[in-house]
Structure 1
Amino acid sequence: MTFRNVQLLGNYLDLLLDMLCVVDDTGRFVYVSASAEQILGYMPAELIGQRMQDYIWPDDVADTLAKAKAVMQGHSLVHFENRYRHKQGHAVYLSWSAKRSEQERVRVGVARDVSAVRLVQARQKLLYAIAEATHQTEDLPALYQQIAGLLSPLLPLQHLRIAVGGSALESWQILTVPVAGKDAAAPELDEQTLCGQVVQSGTRQWALQEQSGGWLALPLPGAEVLQGVLLLHPGVGLSYQRDDLALLDYLAVQLGAAIERKTMLLRLQQQALYDSLTGLANRTLLLDRLQSALQRSSRDQQPLALLYLDLDHFKQVNDNFGHAVGDLLLQQTAQRILQVVRQTDTVARFGGDEFVVLLEQLHQADTALLVAEKIRQALARPFLLADQQLLIAPSIGLALFPEHGTDSRQLLQRADSAMYQAKRDGGDRIKQA
């Protein structure tokens, strides 16, 4: 059938539920049947003369153009599926059959709308993928990136942000999650205001697209408190439909539970491995890091040092000023030590007023003595606590690997013994094992 015949039969072709399209060699529509309005939301007159690829779903453009090129070279196409963008912005799944008309130098294609079946299949698959990702991925930034990758092929998604934080909105952190292949500038968004509206609404779903420049905000619920807010933008001129919101609401529930679970695990880890008063590593974490450090030092043939320190006359501070002042002293002691050492070094509170510092990757053993002296001088400066100026000097014991021991038990014992020798000699000094 020639193109002219198609035009003559147009009145009858318009009765078809499937969409008939004729595209010329430049890739522009020259005929579209009336069913385009039902399938894509466009009147035929709106499409004629327009480029076909401008209406294809962005992720499907490359594959569709490759198939179109094959048809133009004389190959017939049967049951090829792709997605077009509906006038309202959502994806429409089409199954195409197409053939080249050499005489008219056009390709004629017939498209059947298979969205209902494909959307059900795709969304069901997405639901499983979301559930699996939120339960198996422990690293939250990696989970957010995975969620973006899952959503992008199925929903319009140009920008994605996650707002999480504490009880005060001012302390919330806004994390921007890159969406693959989408690098357009994000529309302006006042995250704090929008998140505040979500929190105040008290509803499980909060869709605020028209009043927020197209942004959609969804609360991330936890068992008792809100875990954060999911912020999405579909792209300029696009919006989320009712089915999209139902899917995103499911995602929000799963993501909120994942954030709550990860936060709880981090809190338990913090309690298990860190000192609650100073925030330093505790004995358990120090011993674990020391074991790993010994293996690295043995392999790399580099010295390693342990500094074991105790605050002289700390008991008198507690007796004279109370335990609250004593706790403040320990906290400030921890901060002064951290300011002296490198971020790669480990500072631990072993209990009471005893601290241990693990120094790795030392090019020479003398470096440990220099660091110990810097710590002694830092702690010898007056502490201003409860309107009182206190002078508290440390006694420091130093042990080196492999010179003073080859395992963690030996090194700790030698450093501890050296610290007690420094204290017996009058304190405010460093003793090497």
Structure 2
Amino acid sequence: MDSPPLLPKVMDLLLDAVCVVDVEGRFVFISAACERIFGYTPEEMIGRNMIEFVFPDDRERTLAAAATIMDGMPHPHFENRYVHKDGRVVDIMWSASWSESDRLRLAVARDITELKRVEHTRNALYRISEAAHTSENVHALCQHIHRIIDELVPADNFTVALCDETDETLAFPYSTDPQATQLLETDTPIAEVIRSGQAVLINHDALAVDWLGVPLLTERGIMGVLAIQSDSGKRRYTEEDKQLLYFVSTQIASAIQRKQAEAELMHRAHHDVLTDLPNRALFNDRFDVALARAHRDGEQLALLYLDLKDFKYVNDSFGHEVGDQVLREMAHRLLQCVRESDTVGRMGGDEFTVLLTNVLGPEYTGIIADRIRAAIAAPFDIAGQRLTISVSIGVAVYPDQGEDREQLFRQADADMYAVKRQ
């Protein structure tokens, strides 16, 4: 019995795949390695057009490269993506040339999926680290991360859920699929990731929809979950995708943690430690912004300067702990009296300020001042003590009583002391 020809036998032993394509783009020969790379047997590929197997986003430039090769220009390092029989996307590097006499295109395909994965992962880690330094806040950081991850794994929907251990809920600083805060006990995939501490991959074969969630781990435990969902059906999630996302999740958790720490430091620098109200620096900054807007738009704004009467007596008689609780309750009541667009600040001690923007006439300022007096006059029930406190309020309105912050503060302060003397 004659042995098989040596050349086909040698080609079938190659790790790279050898393909021959006719002028119409149909496979006429496939070596055995194609099944390892693409998942299809030679019999399943021969006679079919090669473009059918190319990842849709790469088809146009693949056809352009094929036309260049058929014009007599060999292409030694062309890269594109093919869709494996099991739905995976594989990265291929081709070396191809054209035989004019045979009217055939000869190409050798090398699977570089793992090399590209390592390259993309390394690049993603670098870009995530860079985003942690350049993003303004957690939401902006998550937007950057979404774009980075979408280049690694299709992420039509992208969600970052962070745990709030104090009330066992989830906060969503970023999500392209808006959803309400969920209790951690609810039966959701995100809750499962948090409870198990493991990545979860769900393939909905009937719907061609995949969901993948990984825990965001820090040295203190699970801080939340990063979840992606693919709705396109073009690309199914795999165990390799799960491992990849799990690998980069540590860097993502570190980046989010860094941005949270920066936000916390910034918050502390601009807010009163006791009441969490804007401190003098932040209040003045907001006042200047509102003043510029009022000047530009021809609006009125009002400054209220508040001073608690006999607050020293509260501290001396009941202790500073009770006094601190009174100040915290004072801040809470003031916030209930104004709009979200207004600003309440603590200047220090028992002095507070209120900035009212877009004031509609002098009577509005009087209404708010009366509302504050009534709110503060209600008894404070603190640590078993029932305290009654009143407040002196000075008012200054822009532009009638001043055109800059210094003038308005002087006017409001003078008005407040006049009220105290009365």
Give the structure-1-normalised TM-score.
0.75
Aligned ranges 1:25-424 → 2 under 5 Å: 32-47=30-45, 55-61=53-59, 63-64=61-62, 78=75, 80-87=78-85, 89-95=88-94, 97=96, 110-113=107-110, 115=112, 118-155=116-153, 157=155, 159-167=157-165, 170-174=168-172, 177-178=175-176, 189-198=188-197, 206-209=198-201, 216-222=212-218, 224-232=220-228, 237-241=236-240, 245=243, 248=245, 250-386=247-383, 389-424=386-421
Contact 1:148 1:177 in 2 (8 A): no
Counterpart AA for 1:327: D
Say if 1:219 and 1:193 are closer, same or farther in 2 by CA, change over 3 A: closer
- Counterpart Cα distance in 1 of 2:257 and 2:347: 31
Counterpart AA for 1:150: I
Counterpart AA for 2:190: E
Shift, 1:161, TM fit: 2.9
Counterpart AA for 2:227: L
Structure 1, unaligned runs of 5 or more: 1-8, 180-187, 199-205, 426-433
Shift, 1:363, TM fit: 4.4
Say if 1:66 and 1:159 are closer, same or farther in 2 by CA, change over 3 A: farther
Q: What do the CA deviations read for 1:395-422 (whole angstroms, capped 9, x no partner)?
A: 1100122332333223222211211211
Structure 2, unaligned runs of 5 or more: 1-6, 178-186
Q: What is the aligned-residue RMSD (CA, Å)?
A: 4.0
Contact 2:212 2:237 in 1 (8 A): no
Say if 1:288 and 1:195 are closer, same or farther in 2 by CA, change over 3 A: same
- Counterpart Cα distance in 1 of 2:60 and 2:342: 51
Amino-acid identity (%): 37
Shift, 1:347, TM fit: 0.4
Contact 1:86 1:92 in 2 (8 A): no
- Count of aligned pairs: 396
Shift, 1:281, TM fit: 0.8
Q: What do the CA deviations read for 1:81-102 (whole angstroms, capped 9, x no partner)?
A: 211133452432232647699x
Contact 1:145 1:177 in 2 (8 A): no
| More off after superposition, 305-314 vs 146-155 | 146-155
SS in structure 2 of the partner of residue 404 of structure 1: coil
Shift, 1:40, TM fit: 1.6
- Counterpart Cα distance in 1 of 2:375 and 2:225: 44
- Counterpart Cα distance in 2 of 1:52 and 1:168: 57
Say if 1:227 and 1:149 are closer, same or farther in 2 by CA, change over 3 A: same
Counterpart AA for 1:153: E
Contact 1:137 1:143 in 2 (8 A): yes
SS in structure 2 of the partner of residue 95 of structure 1: strand
- Counterpart Cα distance in 2 of 1:150 and 1:100: 41
